[in-house]
Homo-oligomer: A and B are copies of this chain.
Amino acid sequence: MAQKFILICCALLAGLLARTQENNSLNLMPVPVLLTAHPGRVDIGEGFRVSVRGKPDRRIFAEASRFVRRLSERTGIFLDHQGFVSPSDSSPSAALLIQIRRPGSLKLGEDESYSLESGGGQVILSAVTDIGAIRGLETLLQLVSADEKGYFFPGLSIRDYPRFAWRGLLLDVALHFMPVDQIKRTLDGMACVKMNVLHLHLCNDQGFRVESRRFPRLQQVASDGVYYTQQEIRELVAYASQRGIRIVPEFVVPAHTTAILTAYPQWASVKRKYSLQRYFGVFDPVMDPTNERLYPFLDTLFSEMASLFPDAYFHIGGDENTGKDWQSEPHIRRFMAERGMKSFMDLQTYFNRRLLPIIEKNGKTMMGWDEILQPGVPKQIVIQSWRGNASFYGSLRQGYRAILSYGYYIDLIQPASYHYQNDPIPDSAALSAQEQQRVLGGEATMWSELVSPLTVDSRIWPRTAAIAERLWSPRSVTDTEDMYRRLDIISLGLEALGLRHRTYKQVLLRQLAHGDDTRSLEVLSDLIEPLKIYERNQGDTMYTVFSPLTKLADLASPDQPQPRIFSREVDSFLLHPSPALRQLLWDKLNCWKQNDALFQRLLLGAPVLREAAGLSRNLSLLAGAGLDAMEALDAGRKMDGAWLEQQLLVAARARQQGGRCELQVVDAVQRLIERAAR
Contacts and interface: CB of A to CB of B under 8 A. Distances in A.
Interface of A: 69, 72-80, 83-84, 146-151, 179-181, 224, 229, 231, 278, 454, 488-489, 492, 495-496, 498, 500, 502-504, 506-507, 510-512, 514-516, 544-551, 604-608
Given A181-B179, A231-B229, A76 B495 contact: no
Given A79-B546, A181-B181, 16 more contacts: A72-B548, A76-B550, A83-B278, A83-B545, A83-B546, A146-B606, A147-B605, A147-B607, A150-B607, A151-B608, A180-B180, A492-B514, A495-B510, A496-B507, A496-B510, A500-B503
Contacts of A148: 604, 607
A502 B495 contact: no
Contacts of A506: 502-503, 506
A146 B605 contact: yes
Contacts of A511: 73-74, 492, 495-496
A548 B146 contact: no
A551 B78 CA distance: 11
Contact of A546 (B69, B489, B507, B548): B69
A606 B148 CA distance: 8
B146 A78 contact: no
Contacts of A179: 181
24 contacts: A69-B548, A72-B547, A73-B550, A74-B511, A74-B550, A76-B548, A76-B551, A77-B548, A77-B608, A78-B548, A80-B546, A83-B545, A83-B546, A84-B224, A147-B604, A148-B604, A148-B607, A180-B181, A229-B231, A488-B516, A489-B515, A495-B507, A496-B511, A502-B510
Given A146-B606, A507-B495, A607-B151, A544 B80 contact: yes
Contacts of A498: 454
Query: Nearest 7 A-B pairs (CB), nearest first?
Result: A76-B608, A503-B503, A181-B181, A73-B550, A72-B548, A73-B548, A80-B544
A358 to B, nearest CB: 30
Nearest to A496: B511
Contact of A608 (B75, B545, B548): B75
Nearest to A151: B607
A550 B496 CA distance: 10
Contacts of A150: 607
Contact of A507 (B69, B503, B605): B503
A242 to B, nearest CB: 11
A147 B424 CA distance: 53
A516 B561 CA distance: 13
Contacts of A548: 69, 72-73, 75-78
Nearest to A499: B507
| Among A83, A607, A608, residue most surrounded by chain B Cβ atoms (within 10 Å) | A607
A443 B26 CA distance: 50
Contact of A547 (B80, B147, B500, B551): B80
A510 B604 CA distance: 33
Contact of A492 (B147, B510, B551, B604): B510
Contacts of A73: 511, 548-550
Contacts of A454: 498
Nearest to A547: B78
A94 to B, nearest CB: 17
Contacts of A503: 500, 503-504, 506-507
A512 B151 CA distance: 13
A554 to B, nearest CB: 10
